[in-house]
Structure formats: C-alpha cells, structure tokens
Amino acid sequence: MALLEITNVDISYGKRLIVKNCNLTLEKAEICSIVGESGSGKTTVIRAVLDLLAGGGRVTAGDIVYEGRSLLTLDDKEWRALRGHDISMIFQDSGAMMNQTRLIGKTYVEYIRTHENISKKEAWAKGAEMLGRMRLPDPDRIMRSYPFQLSGGQRQRVGIAMGMTYQPRLLLADEPTSALDVTTQAQIVRQMMELRDEYGTSIIIVTHDLGVATYMADKVVVMKDGEIEEQGDRSYMLHESTNAYTKKLLDAVPSLGGKRYV
C-alpha cells in the first residue's frame, strides 16, 4: 500500500476551481518534487493534504488517503494527533509562522507537550537536542530567544527542527530553502535526505529551484494551471520526457547541474 494516495482531487477557493483532477501517489521513503510556474497550484495541493487550506479552500472532489485512511473525514482530535507528528509541514518562512512574542523554547515545549506526556524540563531538553541536530550552535541560547532575535536561516532551521521532531512518516515542504543562502540550503537539503535514509520518511518538496528538485527527487511532478502536466521518475523526466512543457521547464537544469549539494 502506498503511504499517500491523492486520487482525482479537485480543490476550490470559494467558487473558483483551482486544482483539477490531481493524482499523485507517494511510496514509503520516496521523495517527490513538485515544480511548476507561480500560481500553478503547488502550495494548494500540499496544504490540502494537511487540511491547512487558507481562504475557504476545500477539496471538492476525489480523495486523499494516508495509510489506507481518508484524510478528508478526520475530526479535530484525529488531526491534532496526526499533524506535526506523523505528517509535518515546513513552510517557506517558518519564522513568520511562529508567535513573535514568545520565546522559541516556550513554543517548542508547548508543541512537544501536545504530542507527548512529558515534563516541561524534558520537553525543553528534547527541543534543544533537535536544534543541535540541525547544527544550530548553542541550542539553549536559541531556545531562550525570540524569533526576531534570530537570522532568517536560523529561524528556518528551527522550523525544520520542529517539523522533524517526531521523524514524521510524511514531510511536506513548501519552498523550505528559498529564503536561505546556498550553504545553508545545501545543509538543509542534506538533512531532509538523511531523514529519508534513516527513518524512511517520505517527502514532498515544492521548489522553484530545479537543481534542488532534481537532486533530491525520486519522482518529479510538473504542474501547470492547476493540473498535473506530467509526472515520472527523475531520470525519465530529465532525459526521456517528450512533453513540451516538461522539456522547456527542465531544460534549465543542466546549467544548474554543476551546483553541488553533497
């Protein structure tokens, strides 16, 4: 059984049908990149998986099935158990999602304690350990900081550490590295891939960076105007596809091919 199966899904904001007939299957430990021009519906698709559509967005047809269970019928309690634990999301600017008036550590401890019945002290230690694993120097200082006291890259790594705390079975990443410098970007790409290698985490990464997309992915999905234009394994999409749009989009890759991530 696939880990995630999106079948014939339509998504609308209000009366506007945005995503049409989306079909996407993700196996355990598989990494899938979604690429496509701005406004093609990439964010909409991955937000729909976590039931986090903004602006009155909703799935109006089809089904999203995770480990044999439809995600479209979960109640709040079931979502609280799943979201941030089995399925996590990393946003483009995780820092902006955090409460700016609360210490990172306080936010982190609260997050951990919604998933685990442990003391605040234990939760603090666990959070600091995760920050250390994201190679954030001096994790205790970071825990005692407010989001605005950190650099953009540090904040993003905090967000990624949080998203990885429970070694999610499914990680949804929306442009996780676009706000970061190339070195930090490479580190984070590596860390996501390690998560897959060590824990069998499946990943969907939305990115404008075709170098990152094709470097990480087992499978590449190309979106255009709310529809999946084409999908296939990386090698097929890069070298064998005859789809004009795919070719135009991925033709840009060889020039980025020299960029190293490991």
Ligand X SMILES: Nc1ncnc2c1ncn2[C@@H]1O[C@H](COP(=O)(O)OP(=O)(O)OP(=O)(O)O)[C@@H](O)[C@H]1O
Question: 134 and 166 in contact (C-beta within 8 Å)?
Answer: no
Tokens 């949804």 correspond to what residue? 172
Assess 43 for contact with Mg ion (CB under 5 A): yes
Strand order in 4-13's β-sheet? Answer: 16-26, 4-13, 57-66, 69-70
- In the complex, the smallest distance separating the C-beta of residue 152 from Mg ion, rounded to whole angstroms, is 18
Nearer Cβ to ligand X (97/118): 97
Residue span binding Mg ion (CB under 5 A) among the ranges 41-49, 72-80, 145-153, 241-249:
41-49
Residue 11 to residue 38: CA distance in whole angstroms: 17
Tokens 């979604």 correspond to what residue? 34
Q: Which does 39 bind (CB under 5 to 8 A by kind): ligand X, Mg ion, none?
A: ligand X
Nearer Cβ to ligand X (142/217): 217
Question: 207 and 175 in contact (C-beta within 8 Å)?
Answer: yes
Q: Which does 1 bind (CB under 5 to 8 A by kind): Mg ion, ligand X, none?
A: none
- In the complex, the smallest distance separating the C-beta of residue 53 from ligand X, rounded to whole angstroms, is 7
Nearer Cβ to ligand X (41/105): 41
Q: Which residues bind ligand X (CB under 6 A)?
A: 13, 18, 36, 38-44, 54-55, 57
Residue 199 to residue 103: CA distance in whole angstroms: 29
Nearer Cβ to ligand X (58/135): 58
The token duo for 178 is 């676009």
